[in-house]
Chain A
Amino acid sequence: MKRKVIAIVLVVAMIMSLTACRSSSNQSKGSSGNVAPTTSEGEELEDVTLNVFMDLGSTLSSGIQSDPVAEYIKEKTGVTLNLEGFDNQKESVMVASGDLYDVTIIDQPAYIPPLISSGSVADLSDWIQYAPNVTESSQASLKYSKEFLSDESGKLFVLPMRTKAEAVPSARDMDGNFVRWDHYVEAGSPAINSIDDLLDLLETIQKNHPETDSGQKTYAVSQWSDWGRGSFESQLSKYLGKTGIPLFSSYDTDDLEYHDLFDDENLYLAYAKYMFNANQRGILDPEAFIQRHEDYNAKLQDGRVLSTMYQWEINGINNELVNSGKAGFVDIPFADTKEYPAKIKCVAPFGYRQRLLVVSSKCDDKKMRAIMRLIDFVYSEKGARTIVNGPEGITWEIDDKGVANFTEETLKAQRADPTYLSTQGAKYYQGIIGLDYDLYDSTGKRFYDLTLNSDYIKDALNDYEKEYCKFYGIDVPLDVMTERKNQSVDNRAYEMLMPSEHPTDISRSTTSIEAYMEQQLPGLIMSKNQEEYDVKLAEIREKLKSMDYDTTNAYYREAFKNAVVTYDKLMK
């Protein structure tokens, strides 16, 4: 017995010591700083496995990747991708400890200065010459990075991703007034000339469909409460042409006028008024401000919510509706008048705040060369096209006129199985794409995401989409937006130029004011009548004054003004 116990203990000890010794075999020495070319003509690519920390989306798993796109990336760059999924807690630990992956996508600009001062991120100033596609497609973002993301060193430590240098119609993930097309037709296809008209339409739809097929109560308007400030802005922001910024302020995208909470033109107050009126009409879901987004989404899928604001939310639902012989959700536009300068185009010359690529300073030259090859690829047109459409030669090819198109086999396969492109790795690696998803290619007329182009969409239109296009006299649904006279551009650069770190007193008051507004807006919306609404709004404004709102608001008003001025300077 005694021997048995000793034997077991020894075996366990052996296993432990073996596993303890296996940890640091892949540690690399620090980059020498001598910049060598990534490859020379005819030279074979070095095979390198890179550890990448990024958003894995809903399709990727962590670990070594071997799908067709990953294989294509390996063929073109020599890089084998070993991915680790993004996690906020892990990111904060990585920033504090300086333990970065070879390539890390940071989602908060405030994390950059500590990483630079601790020497955890590599200086890419000299290396960037080996990624000519970055300098070609994203020059403004490099300028921005050196000025605002370098901890005042003027060096290039960060590559902002998803850059969109020119204003292009937002063809992916649009906002809007999405209702089912058959419901709209049934309601008499009314023109939407005002917010009241929209509410009339929604009220009619709810009257026509008070219950789901399974007998559950429906609501025309609903919402969720777990997105912070974002829970209170999207329903109207697109058509009103307003963008929300910190402190529950907003600005108009056409004339860049700033609106605070004492201004009725403020996006959040416009939203509150709209939701209040919806509640007065009995079409607002009473659980709107106590449910989480996933509960909202479940209701939408069940048919208990009759309208929504995000296209991505209804893509899957539309497929199911079509499969069951019903019409899907479509965006019902506001009238094409000056009151509704809809945000149709988007420009992001400095990329997105949540997509900041940094390279670990622990990478040796071999890894640095591989990283630059990878970066050059993901910022190239070919790379971006591969990431969203699948590998060249398999799903798409360049024709004799130099235009990219899906192959006949792909079109056939996609018609037979709508998930075909996904099986080829399409859209898996959007977490590391250098160019924004809906960007024109070098022809200047076609999206590099081939599924967004008219020729592809026209062939794939369902019956209800054809009716929708006929009703508005357009070729494809996107045209209902692009052909508007009254439209504006959503410029993401202003958000990037707003300060990411604030003086302590401003940070403190911002947090308390935003928390206060998140608590108060639902109460305001649920007011019994107009009189109570007015009283509550006056009380909120009075309370804000005692929360140092004036000083904090002045800070953000100035910050926004500076962002506009700085943008103009940077873009000259």
Chain B
Amino acid sequence: MTKKKISGREMLFQICMIILFVVLFIICFYPFYYIFIASISNPQSVTSTSIRFLPIQPTLSNFRKVLELNGIWRSFIVSLARTVIGTMVTLLFTSMLAFTLTQKELPCRKFFYRFAVVSMYINAGLIPWYLTMRSLHLKDSFLVYILPTALSAYCLVLVKTYIESIPTALEESARIDGAGYFSIYWKIILPVCMPILAAVIVFTAVGQWNSWTDNLLLVDDNNLRTLQLTLLEYLNRANNIASQARTGGAVVDGSNITPFTLRMTITMVVTLPILIVYPFMQKYFIKGIMIGAVKG
């Protein structure tokens, strides 16, 4: 076996690329690493500028404190519930509509499709949205986390494009065998669409996990409070001393508060579940992006 000889020019190119990607890797990775080492450092010893590459007096006390905060676990369950249920509902409704829109017998299907797509670019704004949700009796209801996102226009584009790439013969043979629309959708199309549905799951789950404005504006019941909003409130409390001066608000002594470590730890707590799930879903995620990029 002979080794392929690499020219000096190509070697130089390879080295440059390696350096470039290492730099890019550091740029992407270091912020997460910085947050991580700050979150496991002693809050009394660490400041935003004193920490560089290694944690200072490593401790898990920050995580312990954050996880002991009032209402964290209840909020975690709410966030988990909205992520799981919301993702399943989005998956079901979006894929069903995508399949329907691929059926040539459907009158005005192009109109329905474009109508859905337009909603990605044009919306009425915050206050009309709020009024609509209120008139639908979604205020102070868990359903406000689920129903407004039951249909995702972006995911609709992805799934519809994917379904259109499936050979029509598959569908036709099922129809010859006597399958109806729902049977074809449920038994033939959905299993074939698993890769793109996995991508939809990633997109939707991340979106659901990170959402908090619907909670802030429409849900007052503390039992329905999401993790993001609960942690945001704690984060704001650490920062409030400064902002209160501008608003004429209450000011209390802040000697026991270390906003920096609290902020870092909260960021870790919030992103960790998604960071753990991401590597397992990564291949589907990339596939989803590629489909959207090439055929969308």
Contacts and interface: CB of A to CB of B under 8 A. Distances in A.
Interface stretch (B4-12, B57-65, B237-245, B276-284): B237-245
Interface string A139-172: 0000000000000000000000010000000001
Nearest to A419: B256
A22 B142 CA distance: 9
B250 A427 contact: yes
B219 to A, nearest CB: 9
6 contacts: A58-B241, A85-B233, A86-B249, A89-B216, A315-B255, A422-B253
Contacts of A84: 220
A58 B237 contact: yes
B287 interface: no
Contact of B252 (A12, A63, A310, A427): A427
A57 B240 contact: yes
B259 A294 contact: yes
A89 B126 contact: yes
B248 A56 contact: no
Nearest to A84: B220
A196 to B, nearest CB: 28
Interface stretch (A348-356, A513-521, A529-537): A348-356
Contacts of B250: 55, 57-58, 427, 430-431
Interface string A1-40: 0000000000010011001101110000000000000000
B71 A55 contact: no
Interface of A: 12, 15-16, 19-20, 22-24, 51, 55-63, 84-87, 89-90, 92-93, 96-97, 99, 107, 162, 172-173, 214, 216, 227, 230, 293-295, 297-298, 301-302, 304, 310, 312-313, 315-316, 319-320, 352-355, 418-419, 422, 427, 430-431
Given A55-B250, A57-B249, A293-B242, A23 B49 contact: no
Contact of A20 (B137, B242, B253): B137
B267 to A, nearest CB: 15
Contacts of A162: 248
A131 B21 CA distance: 69
Nearest to B263: A294
Contacts of B131: 96-97
A352 B248 contact: yes
Contacts of B88: 12
A421 to B, nearest CB: 10
Given A20-B141, A61-B70, A216-B49, A310 B248 contact: no
B233 A61 contact: yes
B47 interface: yes
A316 B257 CA distance: 9
A93 B217 contact: yes
A70 B166 CA distance: 64
A419 B142 CA distance: 39
B71 A61 contact: yes
B130 A310 contact: no
Interface residues of B, number: 52
A96 B134 CA distance: 13
Contacts of B140: 22-24
| B interface secondary structure, majority | helix
A57 B134 contact: no
Q: Which of B138, B139, B216, B242: most chain A CB closer than 10 A?
A: B242
Interface in B197-252: 213, 216-217, 220, 222, 224, 233-234, 236-242, 244-252
Contacts, number: 148
A313 B251 CA distance: 10
Nearest to A228: B246
Contact of B137 (A23, A85, A315): A23
B85 interface: yes
A304 B47 CA distance: 12
B14 interface: no
A522 to B, nearest CB: 19
B37 interface: no
B150 to A, nearest CB: 11
B103 interface: no
B127 interface: yes
B98 interface: no
B170 to A, nearest CB: 21
Nearest to B127: A96
B260 A310 contact: no
Contacts of B233: 61-62, 85
Contacts of A227: 246
A294 B49 CA distance: 13
B134 A316 contact: no
B254 to A, nearest CB: 5
Contact of B142 (A16, A60, A92, A430): A16
Closest 8 pairs (CB-CB, A-B): A430-B250, A316-B255, A57-B250, A19-B142, A354-B248, A58-B240, A55-B249, A23-B140
Given A89-B217, A97-B130, A297-B242, A55 B139 contact: no
A354 B249 contact: yes
B153 to A, nearest CB: 22
Given A99-B134, A316-B254, A320-B255, A55 B241 contact: no
Contacts of B224: 19
Given A57-B250, A58-B238, A22 B141 contact: yes
A304 B139 CA distance: 48
A55 B252 contact: no
Contacts of B47: 298, 301-302
Nearest to A353: B248
B222 A355 contact: no
Contacts of B142: 15-16, 19-20
Contact of A354 (B48, B247, B253, B255): B247
Nearest to B238: A58
Given A58-B251, A62-B222, A430-B249, 17 more contacts: A12-B88, A19-B141, A22-B141, A58-B240, A58-B241, A59-B237, A61-B71, A85-B233, A93-B127, A99-B139, A173-B245, A293-B242, A294-B259, A298-B260, A315-B255, A316-B257, A419-B253
Contacts of B244: 55, 57-58
Contacts of B137: 20, 23-24
A161 to B, nearest CB: 10
B96 interface: no
Given A51-B220, A57-B240, A173 B246 contact: no
A302 B50 contact: yes
